[in-house]
Structure 1
Amino acid sequence: MADDPYKILGVAKDATPEQIRAAYRKLAKKHHPDLNPGNKAAEEAFKSASAANELLSDSEKRARYDRGEIDASGAERAPQGFRQGPGGAGAGGFGGGNFEDIFASMFEQRGRPAGPARGQDARYALTADFLEAVNGTTKRLTLPDGQTLDVKIPHGTTDGDVLRLRGRGQPGRNGGPAGDALIEITVAPHKFFRREGQNIRMDLPISLREAVLGGKITLPTPAGPVALSIKPHSDTGTEMRLRGRGVPAHSHHHAGDLLVKLRVTIGPADAALEDFLKTWEQPDFDPRAGMTV
């Protein structure tokens, strides 16, 4: 029998769907096979968390589990009061009553033919790099049973988006359609890009020479490098806007912009610069003007 799904996810019996979802996301990120290649323990932990999430995220299954009708694997449990007696299967549990009559009555409703039923949705978690989410890509998702799904991540995908793959969930019953695969996307942070809606921000280090004299540099952007002109007498905090270089247009959204904030970086000072600064005073400039309390 599978372990208690509440214990696997580390949530209370009265946990909300949001708490269950958050607990599963945390475990899925930690134990995902793609992040732990060859780690059997992590693979088993990922499978257990996925199975627990599948049961507890389904309100009907969760209610049946809480009532003791199914176990953690989803298998039917024997009715309460049933036990193996010395007079035959189930005799001791019903005080010697007629076994066939009792069970015929108990399962009368279950014995009727059931119509087609749609399969349950399956929920998974997938991590995408920042640029993969911005520009779009296709990633392979490894399922708990070892199978894989190729997931198309549209450009402009944001952290927490849920992608739906029709018919890739649990199979239907009695000829019913299969459920869907619901894949929640986590977007990993980038080392210098930051997303704000459709816009992307970045800090750009420039040298003292570039700040004073200006010049052309090569700037990395989500869509590839571009040439950027730095105006003379630029300073830290100066912001430049590259229109259309943010998140590409998608759905009903226009393309965003890339907002570049300059950051003057002195770097190693050589003897010539030190000698110059010893004899040079910048007229009428106090960098700490206004810093009074």
Structure 2
Amino acid sequence: MEYKDYYEILGVSRDATQDDIKKAYRKLARKYHPDVSEAADAEERFKEVGEAYEVLSDAEKRAAYDQLGSNWQQGQDFRPPPDWDTGFEFRGGGFAGEGFSDFFEFVFGGGSPFGPDMAGGGRGRGGGGGFRSQGEDHHAKVAIDLEDSYQGGTRTITLQVPEYDQQGRLVRRQRQIDVRIPKGITSGQRIRLSGQGAPGMGGGPAGDLYLEVEFRPHRLFQVDGHDLTLELPITPWEAALGSKVSVPTLGGSVELKIPEGARSGQRLRLKGRGLPGNPAGNQYVRLRVDVPPARTEEQRRLYEQMREGFDFDPRADLNR
């Protein structure tokens, strides 16, 4: 997928105002309009200019696009940076544009957190003396720690709300909210904050704010739904002879029995030691046998004794 440099396409700087963007678009739209231009690529350039304006003229789309970073070049093979779409508050409603590029569809289309499948716009209501409309729902993706899901509780989360100031420059207003994290919430689930979206019209109720949860990378655990996996290094003698070792879990350390003759890659289960739920998830322990280096002559002699004392060829099956 090719990166689109919308600023380069319109010929404006990254700190351009709304007026700068509008003027550049009008000039280029007239230049490349298929009914006027004789350029061979007029239709393609006209669509490209329209796509750039669709993004840069809208505060939310522009802020989301800027979040991708400024080190990309027009036409470069695009790989989104990790967590680029986290921490943004944006309105419900689709951003899809007919005939726009794959790049646009990735950032703003149906599979995107900014796309139409996250829509939840206002619902109008008649009655009384006039028009009443519920405010638009807002959406954001937020990153939490794995421990937040395990323990539950209230956390303060900071969201960025893109908007244009009076000078037409893009700014990001910060909004802090206290959020109750349910125990056992998993990545991809959403938390609904009633009345925390856009205000209603004509006395209508405010919309809701939906927070899609994702986990920050954890130094110990990998997550799959409610289940956790921990890679546990063990010594060759613990693997060969069996042992009891202390293993970290989100609820504290527990004793785990390593069976005699354990192998690297073998998985052991700690039932119910994953994320809370009904039922609770499990924690799986994947064993990794680490071989200590022979740093002294005495240690080398020990390895020599093992080589002589064991009739063992781990590659025997390869020669059959």
TM-score band, normalised by shorter chain: 0.5 to 0.7
Identity %: 33
CA contact (8 A) 2:149 2:275 kept: no
Aligned equivalents of 1:62 and 1:238: distance in 2? 47
How many angstroms apart in 2 are the aligned matches of 1:286 and 1:132? 47
> Do residues 254 (structure 1) and 307 (structure 2) align?
no
Q: Does the alignment pair 1:273 with 2:289?
A: no
* Cα distance in structure 2, aligned partners of 1:197 and 1:291: 38
Aligned partners of 1:182 and 1:142: how far apart in 2? 14
| 1:206-265: CA deviation from partner (whole Å, max 9, x where unpaired) | 12232233332211012111122223332323321111111222xxx3112111121111
Report deviation, 1:176: 1.2
2:143 paired residue among 127, 130, 138: 127
Matched, 1:238 2:261: no
Give a deviation string over 1:29-63, Cα, whole Å, max 9, x none.
Answer: 3xx5xxxxxxxxxxxxx6xxx4xx42xx425x999
Return structure 1 stretches of 4+ with deviation > 6 angstroms.
none
Counterpart-to-counterpart distance in 2, 1:177 and 1:7? 28
Matched residues in 2 for 1:164 and 1:223: separation?
Answer: 27
Distance 1:267 1:135, change over 3 A: farther
* Equivalence for 2:57: 4
* 1:264 matched to 2:264: no
What is the distance in 2 between the residues matched to 1:146 and 1:190? 26
Q: Which residue of 2 aligns with 1:73?
A: none
Q: Which of 166, 172, 176 lines up with 1:148 in the alignment?
A: 176
Partner of 1:288: 315
Deviations 1:47-101 (A, max 9, x none): xxx4xx42xx425x999xxxxxxxxxxxxxxxxxxxxxxxxxxxxxxxxxxxxxx
2:193 maps to what in 1?
165
Pairs within 5 Å for 1:37-116: 50=89, 53-54=90-91, 57-59=92-94, 114-116=130-132
Q: Which residue of 1 aligns with 2:236?
A: 208
1:178 has 2:231 as partner: no
Change (3 A) 1:7 1:181: closer
Q: Which runs of no fewer than 5 residues in structure 1 stay unpaired?
A: 12-22, 33-45, 64-112
User: SS state of the match for residue 287, structure 2?
Assistant: strand
CA distance in 1, matches of 2:229, 2:96: 43
**Partner AA of 1:220 in structure 2:** P
CA contact (8 A) 2:194 2:208 kept: yes
Please say if residues 205 and 262 of structure 1, whose CA atoms lie closer than 8 Å, have aligned partners that are also in contact: yes
- 1:176 maps to a residue whose letter is G
1:197 matched residue in structure 2: 225
- Following superposition, the deviation at residue 282 of structure 1 comes to 4.6
User: For each residue in 1:81-124, what CA deviation from the matched residue of structure 2 results, as whole angstroms up to 9, or x when unmatched?
Assistant: xxxxxxxxxxxxxxxxxxxxxxxxxxxxxxxx632211111222
Equivalent residues of 1:135, 1:247 under 8 A apart: no
Give the secondary structure class of the aligned counterpart of 2:132.
Answer: coil
Long gaps (5+) in structure 2: 1-16, 19-55, 67-79, 98-128, 162-172
Read off the aligned partner of 1:116 and give its amino acid letter: R
CA radius of gyration, larger in: 1
